[in-house]
Amino acid sequence: MNSWYLPALLALLLLGIQRFFYKVAAENKYPTEWVTFSFMATVTVLSAGAYFSRDQNEPAIGFLLVAALINSTSFLVATVSHIEALKYVPANIAYSIIRLNVVVVAVFSIFYFKEQVSLLQILGLAIAVVAMILLTTQLTADTPSLKRRRQGAVFIFLALLGGATASVSSKFAAMYADKFAFMAMSYLFGMIGSLGINKALSYKKARQRRSAAMGLGFVMGGFNFAGFYLFLYALERGPLSLIAAMVGMHFVIAIVLSAVIFHEKIKPAGFAGILLTVISILLIRI
């Protein structure tokens, strides 16, 4: 087994559970800014604690600041847009389209990093893309309001673009920076940035739910801390194109949990997409 495969698989599981909590936040109409702030604050504290609790080399401050700023900005945009998109379209649609950012990441990494992948792994990547496209076929039927489709589409596009940028910047950080230092700095910037999003959000605030929103954010932060570290660990040892595609399938876990807990319907196309996802993960392992 490749040294990066198991960490990537665990990252997929942990980040899938964390992404499901986006749906929980949306269903409960929690203030997005407080969910995001507490989530990022939790990862910042855990990462800084892990960095300073062990012997560490002096980080390259300039590179670390640039990489962290790009990553935090793109991830913050992706996170907020992701939560907002779920208020306009069903989870199975939003997660599916947003994760098409793996196409952008795969093309960039294969051409820029000159990554070598086998024919079966390319097939696995292609099947992953087909699975995501298949899962988007329910958009028109499940979201009848044109206005809501347009509003959701804007947030979905921003989440897709932000997610692709975050993945690429994570690869550079995994290769050239201390992972815990990068995580701490990136999420610190994200935490600060999350304080400024209040006026940009489109829904009526529910300030009385601030405590519950922050509590959910703490839980999300714990899952993300472990999942993102494993993602960086895998990126340090393996190809971005395959790892991003594999970990990017974490939305399937969120879809399944949304179906079980919130009773969102999964149509035959959805089941087929989930099956193709499993096949793609098995092929990427080879």
pTM of the model: 0.80
Q: What is the pLDDT of residues 43-85, one digit of tens each?
A: 999 999 999 998 766 667 889 999 999 998 998 888 778 778 8
Report d(CA 234, CA 284) in Å as an integer. 13
pLDDT of residue 226: 96
Q: Average pLDDT in the 232-240 region?
A: 93
Q: 203 pLDDT exceeds 60?
A: no
Taking the CA of residue 198 as centre, how many other CA atoms within 13 Å lie in the half-sphere pointing to its CB? 8
Work out the angle at residue 165's Cα, subtended by the Cα atoms of residues 114 and 264, and round it to the nearest 5 degrees: 115
Number of helices and strands in the chain (H, E)? 13, 0
What mean pLDDT is reported for the chain? 82
Contact in structure between 193 and 72 (CB atoms under 8 Å):
yes
Q: Which residue has the tokens 């992972």?
A: 179
Give just the sign of the alpha carbon dihedral 68, 74, 75, 80. positive
Q: Average pLDDT in the 85-94 region?
A: 74
Q: What is the pLDDT of residues 113-157, one digit of tens each?
A: 888 778 888 888 888 778 767 766 654 445 456 666 777 888 888
Contact in structure between 92 and 268 (CB atoms under 8 Å):
no
Question: Hey, how many other C-beta atoms are within 10 angstroms of the C-beta on 13?
Answer: 16
Q: Average pLDDT in the 227-243 region?
A: 93
103 pLDDT band, cuts 50/70/90, is: confident
Report d(CA 142, CA 140) in Å as an integer. 6
Q: 200 pLDDT exceeds 80?
A: no
Report d(CA 226, CA 1) in Å as an integer. 21
Contact in structure between 103 and 160 (CB atoms under 8 Å):
no
